[in-house]
């Protein structure tokens, strides 16, 4: 089932594999014979009883998403019709697909590489327009091309080494050691440049964590709600109302933000509030930017003091309740805001984006970059192998055939990243989170 269970106009039952046409002949009347043409059919069960009217579309190998024969049945929506059609399909010889199995087959059949397959999941799971654009760019093959080009250059380096070992007496002589060292250094620099995209790439993919922190009842929850434009956090005059962290996504054109409203930082004997404060500290340890909130000088100073040992992220001091602050009072804050009137909110968000760009570079979602821990690990491993090769080659401490093992390992690390070198554990990890029907 390629669509969610529940009420709707249509549902899609998707089949793929060598038995597709046999199942179509067993169940459909008429049987679709022309590929890529929608055909109105009746689905009959094993007893010949019509169970639904569907639109069937047949895709023949290799011109399908999976690379195998593929049949899509657009059934009526709801619960009964799709379930009945699915049961009939299984009775006719199909089996329920595993999560992500269609995309996995596409990878194994060379229709997609592993980075593009991941991007399909990212397009579906994107919680912001920036993450969605980055996923589409990856699906289009931008990152795959960049990684593939680097892998090809590493294989060229391996070929240079092989030539040097196998044909040392050729007329043009052995390959100069400086040339090989220079190629290795260029590759290391290129891998480092790619690795540097991972910092901002993971923030675009996951959202930059922006934590609102400060004492109780200083307006954090009101500010949180005002930034989101909706009431997500409870707002009262009672200190300690927020007992747990509340998280929401704020979709900005540049950086997608994961806003977190945390429990007020203070000494308390309330066990539940203590748990909330502990959760606040964990968020602060992971934050990309922290908003230190206070409604007067004393609470701002207290927020600054409380954050010194809790975070290493950039801190923006925010004077809340700006509509209540006397004009004569000069607040020592980066920005003054009012949740009630909206004053200062745009300035605050611009400042958050500026801090993120200062720390992580511009959120260039139109340029291919790394977005996952798996990407970072593979590129880092390739760089480490080339550094090991470069050191051994420069100091002439290993025979060329032994030093070349590092070059081969670097190529394999990038091969695993794009799926050229297929490791079952890697494939399992990528497709485990996919839904059935993808």
Q: List, for residues 59-108, the tens digit of each pLDDT value.
A: 999 999 999 999 999 999 999 999 999 999 999 999 999 988 999 999 99
Give the whole-angstrom CA distance, residue 390 versus residue 188: 9
Radius of gyration of the chain (CA): 29
- What per-residue confidence (pLDDT) applies to 290? 96
For 98-123, write each residue's pLDDT tens digit: 988 999 999 999 999 999 999 999 99
**pLDDT 10s digits, 166-187:** 555 554 556 788 889 999 999 9
Phi, psi of 42 (to 5 degrees): -105, 140
Count of beta carbons in the 10 Å neighbourhood of residue 173:
10
- For the stretch 341-387, pLDDT in tens is 999 999 999 999 999 988 887 655 567 889 999 999 999 999 999 99
Residues above pLDDT 90, as percent of the chain: 56
Residues 6 or more apart whose CB falls under 8 angstroms from that of 91 comprise: 45, 46
The CATH architecture that domain 208-360 belongs to is: 3-Layer(aba) Sandwich (3.40)
pLDDT digits (tens, 9 = 90+) for 386-438: 999 999 998 888 888 888 899 999 999 999 999 887 556 656 766 766 776 66
Residues 166 and 28: their CA atoms lie apart, in Å, by 62
Write out the two tokens for 380: 């880092």
Point out which residues pair with 249 in neighbouring strands: 258
Nearest to 197 by CA among 415, 353, 366: 366
Domain with CATH 3.40.50.300 in the chain: 208-360
183: helix, coil or strand?
helix
Span(s) in the chain for CATH 3.30.1360.120: 6-96
Residues of the chain with CATH 1.20.120.430: 129-203+372-431
Between vectors from CA 222 to CA 218 and to CA 223, what angle results, nearest 5°? 90
Q: What is the CATH number of domain 6-96?
A: 3.30.1360.120
CATH of 129-203+372-431, one of 1.20.120.430, 3.30.470.20, 2.30.30.90, 3.90.1150.10: 1.20.120.430
CA distance 183 to 147: 17
């Amino acid at each position: 089932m390629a669509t969610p269970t529940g009420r709707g106009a249509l549902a899609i039952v998707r089949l793929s594999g060598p038995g597709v046409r046999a199942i179509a002949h067993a169940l459909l009347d008429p049987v679709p014979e022309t590929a890529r043409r929608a055909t109105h059919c009746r689905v009959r069960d094993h007893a010949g009883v019509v169970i639904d009217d569907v639109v069937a579309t047949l895709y023949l190998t290799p011109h399908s998403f999976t690379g195998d024969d593929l049949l899509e049945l657009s059934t009526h929506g709801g619960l009964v019709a799709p379930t009945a059609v699915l049961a009939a399909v299984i009775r006719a010889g199909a089996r329920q697909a595993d999560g992500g199995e269609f995309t996995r087959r596409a990878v194994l059949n060379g229709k997609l590489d592993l980075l593009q397959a991941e991007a399909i999941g990212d397009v579906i799971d994107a919680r912001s327009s920036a993450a969605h654009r980055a996923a589409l760019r990856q699906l289009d093959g931008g990152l795959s091309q960049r990684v593939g080009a680097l892998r090809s250059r590493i294989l060229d380096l391996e070929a240079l080494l092989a030539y040097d070992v196998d044909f040392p007496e050729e007329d043009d002589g052995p390959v100069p050691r400086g040339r090989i060292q220079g190629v290795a250094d260029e590759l290391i620099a290129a891998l480092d440049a790619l690795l540097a995209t991972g910092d901002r790439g993971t923030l675009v993919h996951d959202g930059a964590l922006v934590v609102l922190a400060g004492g109780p009842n200083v307006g954090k929850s009101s500010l949180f709600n005002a930034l989101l434009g909706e009431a997500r956090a409870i707002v009262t005059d009672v200190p300690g109302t927020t007992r747990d962290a509340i998280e929401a996504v704020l979709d900005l054109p540049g950086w997608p933000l994961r806003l977190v409203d945390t429990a007020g930082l203070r000494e308390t004997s309330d066990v539940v509030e203590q748990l909330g404060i502990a959760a606040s500290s964990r968020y602060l340890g992971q934050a990309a930017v922290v908003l230190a909130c206070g409604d007067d000088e004393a609470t701002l100073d207290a927020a600054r003091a409380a954050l010194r040992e809790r975070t290493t992220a950039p801190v923006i001091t925010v004077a809340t309740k700006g509509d209540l602050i006397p004009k004569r009072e000069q607040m020592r804050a980066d920005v003054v805001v009012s949740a009630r009137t909206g004053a200062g909110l745009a300035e605050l968000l611009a400042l958050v984006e500026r801090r993120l760009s200062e720390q992580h570079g511009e959120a260039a979602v139109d340029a291919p970059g790394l977005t996952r821990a798996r990407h970072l690990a593979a590129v880092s491993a390739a760089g480490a192998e080339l550094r090991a090769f470069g050191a051994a080659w420069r100091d002439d401490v290993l025979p060329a055939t032994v030093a070349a093992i590092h070059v081969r390992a670097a190529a394999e690390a990038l091969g695993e990243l794009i799926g050229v070198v297929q490791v079952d554990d890697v494939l399992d990890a990528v497709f485990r989170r996919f839904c059935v029907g993808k």
